[in-house]
A and B are shown apart, each in its own frame.
Chain A
Amino acid sequence: DAGITQSPRYKITETGRQVTLMCHQTWSHSYMFWYRQDLGHGLRLIYYSAAADITDKGEVPDGYVVSRSKTENFPLTLESATRSQTSVYFCASSRYGGELFFGEGSRLTVL
């Protein structure tokens, strides 16, 4: 049972570059989420998706783009990375909304 996997686990990039963080879940959960975790802020929701081809903005969506062409995948793209996007990014899924199951996280550093 692979669950939910994120890649890459660690990424260093430069300001202005495009970065895509991948998220794949094997449970066929309808709902998927992207959070970022920063010291002093806890977890903040970036984007979420209730089903394939349905996405919506969360609390901090600026500078990010998502897509969900297949139920199992929910990639997060930083179109032009900025230093303020240095963070740990967590993907999560949920069958019905409510309880979330988290991936291992992707630590992104923007130089």
Chain B
Amino acid sequence: AQSVSQHNHHVILSEAASLELGCNYSYGGTVNLFWYVQYPGQHLQLLLKYFSGDPLVKGIKGFEAEFIKSKFSFNLRKPSVQWSDTAEYFCAVVSGGGADGLTFGKGTHLIIQP
């Protein structure tokens, strides 16, 4: 079975700081990778996704992620965070056709201090 590991469960940053959230997955074959964001009291929304091609993926709100196959990693980055980035961030992986859903990491709770 696949597993997803998010190394940081809680991250606190000041506004304008740079962000990097770690994500590693266990499956060795072809995968599709996702980062979802959940703002307080809301549902999960897609930030970005990687299916194939350029391993550096750009998403919404200035976020990007880099797929490094040799390291089984898909880290999320943002050069300068804002207070509105306070949220829960989930990394997820799917292999094959994805009919049995995504496997999610346990999430990283990000707090941005003004």
Contact = CB atoms under 8 A, between A and B. Distances in A.
The judgment on whether A and B are partners is yes
The DSSP consensus for interface residues of chain B is: loop
A74 interface: no
B43 interface: yes
Interface residues of B, number: 23
Given A90-B43, A103-B43, A104-B42, A31 B99 contact: yes
A48 B43 CA distance: 18
Contact of A102 (B44, B96, B98, B107): B44
B49 A42 contact: no
B32 interface: yes
Given A90-B44, A99-B49, A40 B106 contact: yes
Interface of B: 32, 34, 42-46, 49, 51, 90, 94, 96-107
Given A97-B94, A98-B102, 14 more contacts: A41-B106, A42-B105, A43-B104, A44-B104, A45-B103, A50-B99, A58-B100, A92-B101, A99-B46, A99-B49, A100-B44, A100-B101, A102-B45, A105-B43
